[in-house]
Amino acid sequence: MACLLEAPLRVSVLSEVTATSRHYVDRLFDPDPQKVLQGVMLLYLLQQSSSTLELRTECAVVLGSLAMGTENNIKSLVDCHIIPALLQGLLCPDLIFIEACLRCLRTVFISAVTPVQLLYTDPTVIPHLMSLLSRSHRTQEYTTQIFSHCCKTPEHQTVLFNHGAIQNIAPLLISPSYKVRMQALRCFSVLAYENTQVSMTLVNVLVDGELLSQVFIRMMQRDQPIEMQLTAAKCLTYMCRAGAIRTDDSCVVLKTLPCLVRMCSKEHLLEERVEGAETLAFLMEPDVELQRIASTTDHLVAMLADYFKYPSSVSAIADIKRLDHDLKHAHELRQAAFKLYASLGSNDEDIRKKITETENMMDRIVSGLSESSIKVRLAAVRCLHSLSRSVQQLRTSFHDHAVWKPLMKLLQNAPDEVLVMASSTLCNLLLEFSPSKEPILESGVIELLCSLTQSESPALRVNGIWALMNMAFQADQKVKVEIVQCLGTEQLFRLLSDPDANVLMKTLGLLRNLLSTRPHIDQIMTSHGKQIMQAVTLILEAEHSVEVKEQTLCILANIADGNTAKELIMTNDDMLQKIKYYMGHSNVKLQLATTFCISNLIWNEEDGSQERQDKLRELGFVDMLHKLSQACDANLSDRAKTAMQQYLA
């Protein structure tokens, strides 16, 4: 029987199936789907304990072979409850039967159509699978493969971790069987991904007296198979990103990073280059030093340009099947390259320059924004966003290639994930020093941005209001009026009570930019003053962060700078008391903002300044200013002295 366990189903195998099961097996290959299903159901019934062990083992082998067929085969098997039947079979003491059941389970679970949750339904299954790890090389290989395919969420990671996955699987990394070592390694890569608890535990694990990280380093050596080098590099990458290994540790800088860069070279297979680039992008995403090291390793920036030329018409791929596969998957290379460029250029100006100067790079990004694959579009806009953090690139490459046009097109109709990244990029293109700002304004973007502020997604609301805030900065009155009219006061005040602190901060920033330069302040406060003062009152009275209150008090200081608008503060005794309260606050930023406000109200050169000075003196503001003029903070002290001079002039 053992010979049946290793081979996919062949005619020779069928000839060895006993006459008893022959009837059912024939049904599996019947052209009538109903008979096939009936055959599957009958085979399921053969899992009963009343059948002989030989028959049950044969059934598990045949089912495993059937599971290697089409997705419909797997769906039929899963619908017939094959998984609970096979899991039940694992309770049998017979090793050959257990191996047959595990092999079939492995084949079913590695299919994309199988719901992995089925492994976790019964809480006794995982501990039992752990106990089977000690039975044989085959149980080790199949069980770890099941674990790595079925570990998809943080909850799954926790279940496996709590049932001793680390201590049970770690010894398998030095198994004499390559397949066992490889599956154990894959298991650790999925367990450690974005998981601090697992990563912090792994860093202290010893395997035969050697630290686990050293075992991974050995597995990354050039003489090891590529899949092993890559998976070991992923393990160390995930441990590093989870904070278990420092980014300046030699195992990251001298081993993991160079190994991943190596995977990006053109002698590797497409999927290896994709995985290498994506893992490298993830490794260095938050760390500028790793980005600098990577950018100067093996000409990486230029090497990635090859990702866009593959496979070429003169490709060296002799295998026609491989060529066909790569043509269908070439977009994955472009996606990976954009991701890696985005990560490389997220902080350093010199690296961004190097990227944009790489052959046809901006044209490639522009093309990427309109590719049919949503993943490529997302990666291309990520790359554009990363480069848009550069003042220099906004003024040169972005302007020369008019990237705002495809970006605007992308914003018209895209999933939220793409919209968030595209609108973030647009925020940068709307900064006052960006030459793209004017043509974007003329393209009718205000309506689009106002619609984003109504999104259910907080990230899109933030980006919509942020872009409007950038647009309103030092804008002419026409643009400001258009923003206020398009957004509408109702929506503006809804955003001022948004539960998301970032939305609130950016809305206050927009209001502050709208209320700048006196004619604009007076015009907006004439038409919307009552609502704005009401919103300011509500924010100052509510529980908000110092940053929110500071921004709100700065808006008041801007209102106080208007010619007619300042009367809305002077005639509001409740507001004056609030200003006085914040002048006496323990936070210097709040004191500074309120002192600016008072300074604007009492400025000598303006009409009515004497009356305002007198009223504020009566309310005790001069005493407050005198006190603040002796503050330890130099800025606050100077600002208070400047305000007091208005009384002496």
Task: Collapse the DSSP code of 207 into the 3-class scheme (helix H, G, I; strand E, B; otherwise coil) and give the result.
Answer: strand
8-state DSSP, 649: -
d(CA 434, CA 441): 12
- Three-state DSSP state, 546: helix
**Total count of residues recorded for the chain:** 649
Asked if 515 and 521 count as a contact pair (C-beta separation under 8 A), the reply is: yes
Query: In Å, what is the CA distance from 92 to each residue of 2, 20, 132, 416?
Result: 17, 21, 11, 50
Residue 418 has pLDDT above 60, yes or no: yes
Q: Look up residue 69 and give its two tokens.
A: 């067929």
Give residue 540's identity as a one-letter amino acid code.
L
Res 572: pLDDT: 92
First vs last Cα of the chain: how many Å apart? 106
For the stretch 257-310, pLDDT in tens is: 999 999 999 889 999 999 999 999 999 999 999 999 999 999 999 999 999 987
**pLDDT at position 645, please?**
87
360 CB-contact burial (10 Å; exposed 0-12 / middle 13-18 / buried 19+): exposed
Dist. CA 558–CA 621, nearest whole Å: 19
Identify each DSSP E strand in 92-213 by its residue range.
206-207, 210-211
Q: What pLDDT digit, counting tens, does each position of 22-68 carry? A: 555 555 555 555 655 555 557 655 566 777 888 888 888 888 888 88
Alpha helices per DSSP H over 357-514:
361-368, 374-387, 391-395, 397-400, 404-412, 416-429, 437-442, 445-452, 458-472, 477-487, 489-495, 501-514
CA distances from 316 to 226, 272, 311, 609 (A): 20, 17, 9, 83
Q: What is the DSSP letter of 210?
A: E
Provide the pLDDT for residue 26: 58
Please report, to the nearest 10 degrees, the dihedral formed by the alpha carbons of residues 510, 516, 519, 522 taken in order. 60
Question: How far apart are the C-alpha atoms of 345 and 390, rounded to whole Å?
Answer: 9
Range scoring the smallest mean pLDDT among 412-421, 572-581, 601-610: 601-610
Say how far apart CA 59 and CA 21 lie, in whole Å.
Answer: 8
Strand 206-207 relative to strand 210-211: parallel, antiparallel, unpaired? antiparallel
Model confidence at 5, pLDDT cuts 50, 70, 90, reads very low
Task: Give residue 119's pLDDT.
Answer: 95
Mean pLDDT for all residues in the chain: 89
Q: CA 475 to CA 478: how far, in whole Å?
A: 8
Residue whose C-alpha is closest to residue 217's, from 180, 172, 185: 185
Which carries the bigger pLDDT value, residue 323 or residue 537? Answer: 537
* Distant-in-sequence, close-in-space partners of 578: CB < 8 Å, separation ≥ 6: 537, 540, 541
What's the pTM?
0.84
Beta carbons of 513 and 558 less than 8 angstroms apart: no
The pLDDT value given to residue 197: 96
Taking the C-alpha atoms of residue 119 and residue 131, their distance in angstroms, rounded to an integer, is: 15
CA distance 424 to 430: 10
Confidence of residue 8 (pLDDT cuts 50, 70, 90): very low
Distance CA 74, CA 143 (A): 19
Q: Measure the CA–CA gap between 142 and 101, rounded to whole angstroms.
A: 10
